[in-house]
Structure 1
Amino acid sequence: MSAVVACFLFGFLGAFLPLLPGALLVWLGILIHKIALGQQSVSWTFFWTATACVGATYGIDALCTIWGARAFGATWRGMVGAMLGLLIGPFLLSPLLGIGIGLGMILGPLFGAVLFEIIGGKDLRGASKAGFGALIGGFFAFFVKIAIIVSIIVAFFMQVGHSTLPGLN
């Protein structure tokens, strides 16, 4: 079951490297284990709970970015700009080999919120506060996703132990 361990390792790394779909790789590891070992693997309740948690990680970026922008005074325009920045930023900066996507995920919401707030009539100071809030929300999402990924991996090993993973005994 080295494929399971590889999925977990790359999934954990994916929390830090935006090129890897971190939570999805962890879920894939659980799926491989479930298919390979059937009843000796995790329970179906665990599997579906992990599936829901993995699905939630993909909405967390959006929700935390909006929350952060709003908490720092963004209007609906700033929140829309932050979301567009979150979606477009990684693509615009992706040519920067390796760091571009991550940089785009950090800077996209910041600049998106600032730009849309300025277009909406806010001064640079107010727009910058909204952009900073979007940035803080993005960092919060990052830590929440890491916590979810680590929790799923720990819960997996607590449920199956390491006896079903040859090479780890």
Structure 2
Amino acid sequence: MDLLLLTLGLSCMLIGIMGCFLPLLPGPGLSWLGILILYSTAAIPANYWILSITLIITALLTVLDYIIPSKGTKYFGGSKYGIWGTNIGLVIGIFIPVPFGFLIGPFLGALIGELLFDSTNHNRALKAAAGSFIGFLASTFIQFLICILFLGLFISIVWQHRAGLF
């Protein structure tokens, strides 16, 4: 049974890493689930400190995933219209059946929002949309980094308890 749980946990970890780039999969959440499944094995004693800290990191990262693109828009001079456009575009971009809609949505949302705010300043609108895109890329990179760290933690725990697992 432990080997099955180990395999399921590792699968969650790998799918979580892919989820950093595919918006329909919650990458850090799946990676945390992999750690939780690992601690469900009989060979590895539960460590509630690690589970709690990684859960807090996962929750913060999930919230930041929606905030960072908006902050990127604001940092590059976007208005509240651009920030709202980024958030709306992110949600719409996830659900429209266009390749890379999750990338195009926030960019177009910020662009349209800024053009609604000031239709004469196209340069500002493009700058805010670029900020949204850079924010999205930063958020994706942070998610990927955390998922890789969770995978390293997973492998470390398995290595420490290899005698009881295999």
**TM-score category, normalised to shorter length:** 0.7 to 0.9
Instruction: Report Cα offsets for 1:57-112 as digits up to 9, x if no partner.
Output: 222222210111011100111111111111111112xx24xxx3xx1221111111
The reply on whether 1:30 has 2:35 as its aligned counterpart is: yes
What is the DSSP-based 3-state SS (H/G/I as helix, E as strand, rest coil) of the residue aligned with 2:23?
coil
CA contact (8 A) 2:73 2:128 kept: yes
Instruction: Report Cα offsets for 1:25-51 as digits up to 9, x if no partner.
Output: 11111111222237x345101001111
Aligned length: 160
Shift of 1:139: 0.4
CA contact (8 A) 1:33 1:41 kept: no
TM-score in terms of structure 2 length: 0.85
Identify if the C-alpha distance between structure 1 residues 44 and 118 changes in structure 2 by more than 3 Å, giving closer, same or farther: same
Please report the RMSD computed on the Cα atoms of aligned residues, expressed in angstroms. 2.2
CA contact (8 A) 2:73 2:82 kept: yes
Instruction: Report Cα offsets for 1:106-127 as digits up to 9, x if no partner.
Output: 1111111111111112421111
Counterpart residue number, 2:20 = 15
What is the DSSP-based 3-state SS (H/G/I as helix, E as strand, rest coil) of the residue aligned with 1:83?
helix
Where do 5+ consecutive residues of structure 2 fail to align?
A: 1-5
CA contact (8 A) 1:69 1:78 kept: yes
Where do 5+ consecutive residues of structure 1 fail to align?
A: none
For 1:37 and 1:30, the matched residues in 2 are separated by: 14
Shift of 1:20: 2.6
